[in-house]
Structure 1
Amino acid sequence: MVFRRMVRPGIVGALLLLGAAGAPAQRGPAVGALGTLERGEWQLKDGEGEVRKLCLRNPGTLLQIMHGDAQCEHFVMESAKSSATIRYTCPSHGHGRTTISIDTPRVVNIDTQGVANGAPFAEKFEGRRIGVCS
């Protein structure tokens, strides 16, 4: 009987410690605001007016624009109805921090910075849905 009382608190303490310190970063952003974005062809315009287009099937790709399809660990720092900030790490490719503000389901503003393949970056984009993917 005494043995059980001593073991249980020890096990509970270890589980609490592991749960607090060893919680994995969220894989695949669990950011509610992204669920409001419309899928389709999007145009991203940077601060210099350069435009790139992408077929947005998974809105989570907007969170790591500079790292493309790299497999990254995401940590959600803030998630609100119309904005989110995440920090992410892509083993062997770098890391970043992205804040996305959603004006409408067809218009977003993205602020991202970090390191991609050894080079620092800091970019701002305005994204607009322009149609269906071709």
Structure 2
Amino acid sequence: MMLRSFISLRRFAVLAAAVLVSLVPAHAGSERLGMLDTLQPGAWELRLREIGSQPQRICVPNGRTLIQLRHQADACSRLVIGESASEVTVQYTCRGRGYGRTRIRRETAQLVQIDSQGIADGLPFEFSAEARRVGACGT
């Protein structure tokens, strides 16, 4: 019973935060996220920390692409929750498509750790992954 209450409380907190993000203009925080701009563009291999998952290759034109891995093609409003020289946390809302909260920790310009959760196409998602640059896009 206590676990069910905790999960309900967590879902409520995520939903409440998403509502707050939707009230923020799309340009809010757009000048920030400098750490993501230090990541090298190119082909990156994404390794989810899930049993049986296979590595995925994605083309990353800039580090900001890693914020919305479950909403890649969507134009979403973003709010920077936290930022340091090696880590950023961003909450985003994609009207009618869902929302998410992503934390990216930079280890090097070619290696990051990603934690993300939210709702995509009406379904919850949560993942933890390592992303590593493996070359140029298209190779």
TM-score range, shorter chain: 0.7 to 0.9
Q: 2:97 aligns with which of 93, 99, 104?
A: 93
- The count of corresponding residues between Structure 1 and Structure 2 is 113
- 1:30 Cα offset (Å): 2.7
Offset at residue 59 of structure 1 (A): 1.5
Instruction: Tell me whether 1:45 sits opposite 2:24 in the alignment.
Output: no
Higher-Rg member (1/2): 1
Q: Deviations over 1:21-71 (max 9, x none)?
A: x86252757301101100111000001242111111021110010111101
The alignment-based identity, stated in percent, is 38
65-74 or 45-54, larger mean C-alpha shift: 45-54
- How big is each residue's C-alpha offset from its partner over 1:80-120, in whole Å with a ceiling of 9 and x where there is no partner? 10100010000011000000000000000000000001000
What corresponds to 1:59 in structure 2?
Answer: 63
Q: TM-score, normalised by structure 2?
A: 0.76
Q: Which runs of 4+ in 1 moved over 4 A?
A: none
Partner in structure 1 of residue 111 of structure 2: 107
Where do 5+ consecutive residues of structure 2 fail to align?
1-22
RMSD: 1.7
Q: CA 1:27/1:90 → structure 2, altered by over 3 Å: closer, same or farther?
A: farther
Contact 1:45 1:51 in 2 (8 A): yes
In structure 1, stretches of 5+ residues that fail to align are: 1-21
TM-score (norm 1): 0.79
Structure 1 position 124, deviation (Å): 0.7
CA contact (8 A) 2:47 2:56 kept: yes
